[in-house]
Amino acid sequence: MTAAGTPLAPDPAAIRDAASVLVIDRTAPSGPSVLMGMRGAGAAFMPSKYVFPGGAVDPADALIECGAPDSSCLSRLDAHLRAGGAVRGRAIAAAALRELAEETGLMIGQPGRTAGNWPEYERAGLVPDPSALIYVFRAITPPGRSRRFDARFFMIDAEKLHGDRHDFSLASDELSHLHWVALAEARRLNLPFITEVVLAEVQALVAAAGDGPLKAPASVPFFDNEGETSGFRRIA
């Protein structure tokens, strides 16, 4: 608070927890594809870049009534939490589904209704279900950027989507040019560096799965830029 009692503006460089989701369509004739969209030219963070649906975790994400991530996924999400960070794995996974619904209109859930659910899910008669999310990457934005996020990246098979995977009529205007991009071609787009790295990891996981179910990596790569010295580790 200021001396006059006015709330201070949030620190734009403070690290915020965030979640992004790579939805993988393995039915396309051109090969496995991933859903991407372009941020606006006036966006404060990564303007005009192609990204996966995602965004910052909201406080309400911890309160939403939804399913739980897979136990292995949840234990990895709750590992190595930042000092002072209060956001837990369930809220991070919930945020991934909320952002997907808001930015693309696509949902992942089970039939049912709960009080206080997200409006997109309420209208569709669904309860959000993050149980099929696969945790594949984590990265903290380096110091000195206009926005900083502790971003967790998830992968999920498009077969888990509710409804038509090509129907973006309920999408907000946060991402433009929403479309399915062949994994083999995606890195030719105008991408942030970290998006390129995550795409390479996911492309390898999709190739390893073949025609079988998508599987979690043996360990989750983690670019840790919380302090002044960058580090790389793996979350077992």
pLDDT tens digit string along 160-173? 999 999 999 999 99
pLDDT number for residue 210: 95
pLDDT number for residue 223: 95
pLDDT-based confidence at 3, cuts 50/70/90? very low
* DSSP 8-state code for residue 7: P
Which range in 12-21, 39-48, 134-143 is most confidently predicted, on average pLDDT? 134-143
Buried b (16+ CB within 10 A) or exposed e, 187-203: eebebeebbebbbebbb
pLDDT (average), residues 74-84: 83
User: What structural domains does the chain harbor?
Assistant: 32-235 (3.90.79.10)
pTM here? 0.91
Task: Please tell me the distance from the alpha carbon of residue 80 to that of residue 76, in angstroms, as a whole number.
Answer: 8
pLDDT number for residue 9: 46
Across all residues in the chain, what is the average pLDDT? Answer: 89
Q: Shortest CA distance to 214 belongs to which of 163, 157, 165, 144?
A: 157
Give the percent of the chain with pLDDT over 70. Answer: 90
Token pair listed for 138: 């984590």
pLDDT number for residue 2: 38
Any alpha helices (H) in the chain, and if so which ranges? 71-77, 89-104, 119-124, 183-186, 193-209
pLDDT number for residue 226: 87
pLDDT digit string, tens, across residues 113-139: 877 789 999 999 999 999 999 999 999
Task: Please tell me the distance from the alpha carbon of residue 87 to that of residue 76, in angstroms, as a whole number.
Answer: 13
